[in-house]
Amino acid sequence: MNDQIVEVNISEWDTPSTQEQLITDLESGKVIHFTNLEFPISEIEQKYFTSEIRDKKSRNISLSVSGDIKGVVKNNEAESNLTKMLVRYRNHSHLLVNSILPCYKDHLHLAQTSFRPNQIVTRNQSWRADDKRLHVDAFPSRPNYGERILRVFINVNPHNVPRVWRIGEPFEAIVERFLCDTKPYSAWQAKILNAFDITKSLRSKYDHLMLQLHDSMKRNLSYQSNCPQITVEFPTGSVWICFSDQTSHAAMSGQFMMEQTFHLPTANQYNPNTSPLAILSRHMGRQLI
C-alpha cells in the first residue's frame, strides 16, 4: 500500500519535468506528493486564517471560475484579499499541472478554487457527506459523464499542523468489491431528477454507478476500518495531486488548506483505459456513456 503515494522533489511550480512513470502513477490513481514547493502567504492574508472568516452557511470559501468569491463573512477587505490569494494559488496550480502533464494543457477545464479554514475533526456531517470516510468523488447534483476530476491540494497551516489523509485500495479493487451491490440504472428516474432540477443535467449510467460506489464505501463501517489503506501526513507547505474520482481518500484531520479543481475529458488522458469510465465499462461489459 505504501506505493499509493509517490514523492517528487521539485522546487519550482513551472518545471518542465515530465516523467513517464509519474504520469502512469497519477493515471493509475496514486497520489503525487511534491515535498519541496513553496507558496508564500503574506501577513495580510494570514490574518484571515481563522475559522471565523467562513460564513457558517457555507462549507468552504470558494472562488468561481469567473472570479466570484463565496463563503466569506461579510467583509469587503477579507473578500478582496482572499480572492487575490486564491487567484494566485489557481495560477500556481495551473503552472504545475501544465508543466508536468503537458498533454493535458489544451484540454483542462478550470473549476472552482477553495480555501478550507475549518478543523476537519470537529465537522459534524451525515455519513454520506462525511469526508473522514474513505470514498471516491462523485456528486449527486452534478453528473460529469466520465470527465476526470483532477485536484491540486496544499496545506497552508501556519502552525505546522499536518493534513492527515487515509488513502485506500486501487479503484479496480473497489469496483470488484462493490459493483455487485449496485442497483440497475433507471432512465425515468434520471429524467425526473433532471426535470425537478435535482441534477444539473441528465444523470448517466456512469454517474449512477459512481454515486453508488461512493455511498457503498462510506456506508460500510467494516470496510472503512478493515480495507487495505495507509495514513499519510502532509506537512505545512506540502502540495499533492490526484484524480479524486479514482483515488480512494479520506481527510482525517488538519486545518487551513487550499484546493484547485480541474476537469479533464477521459479521451485526453495519456492512457484513457485507466479511467474509472473505462474500468466500469469493462466490468459492466458495455459502454456507459
* Rounded Cα distance, 169 and 213, in Å: 13
* Rounded Cα distance, 146 and 38, in Å: 33
pLDDT score at 91: 97
Mean pLDDT per 10-residue interval, the chain, length 289 residues = 87 81 95 94 94 90 96 90 97 95 94 95 80 96 96 97 97 97 94 95 97 97 97 96 98 97 97 98 94
pLDDT score at 123: 66
* Rounded Cα distance, 207 and 180, in Å: 16
Q: What are phi and psi of 207, to 5 degrees?
A: -65, -35
Sheet holding 249-253, edge to edge: 230-234, 163-167, 249-253
Helix (H, G, I), strand (E, B), or coil: what is residue 170? Answer: coil
Q: Which residue has the cell 487575490?
A: 84
Q: What is the pLDDT of residues 58-111, one digit of tens each?
A: 889 999 999 999 999 988 899 999 999 999 999 999 999 999 999 999 999 999
Longest CA span, the chain: 56
pLDDT score at 179: 96
Instruction: Give whole-number Cα distances, 241 to 1, 17, 61, 80, 157, in Å.
Output: 17, 15, 20, 27, 18
* Rounded Cα distance, 188 and 211, in Å: 17
Instruction: Give whole-number Cα distances, 254 to 6, 107, 160, 193, 245, in Å.
Output: 21, 32, 10, 36, 22
> Residue 234: which of 21, 99, 34 has the closest Cα?
34
Task: Return the CATH number of the domain spanning residue range 2-284.
Answer: 2.60.120
Q: Give the burial class of 185: count Cβ atoms within 10 A of its Cβ; 0-12 exposed, 13-18 middle, 19 or more buried.
A: middle
Amino acid at 129: A
Alpha helices, DSSP H, located in the chain: 20-27, 43-46, 76-100, 171-178, 187-195, 205-219, 221-226, 276-284
Where do the structural domains in the chain lie, given as residue ranges? 2-284
* Rounded Cα distance, 237 and 97, in Å: 17
pLDDT score at 76: 86
pLDDT score at 19: 79
Which cell numbers hold the place of 90? 489557481
Q: Is the dihedral of CA 77, 42, 13, 34 positive or negative?
A: negative
Helix (H, G, I), strand (E, B), or coil: what is residue 80? Answer: helix
pLDDT score at 183: 94
| Cα dihedral 95/99/103/105 (nearest 10) | 10
pLDDT score at 18: 64
pLDDT score at 15: 79
> What are the residues whose beta carbons fall under 8 Å from the beta carbon of 184, sequence distance 6 or more?
none
Give me the helix-helix angle, 171-178 and 205-219, nearest 10°: 90
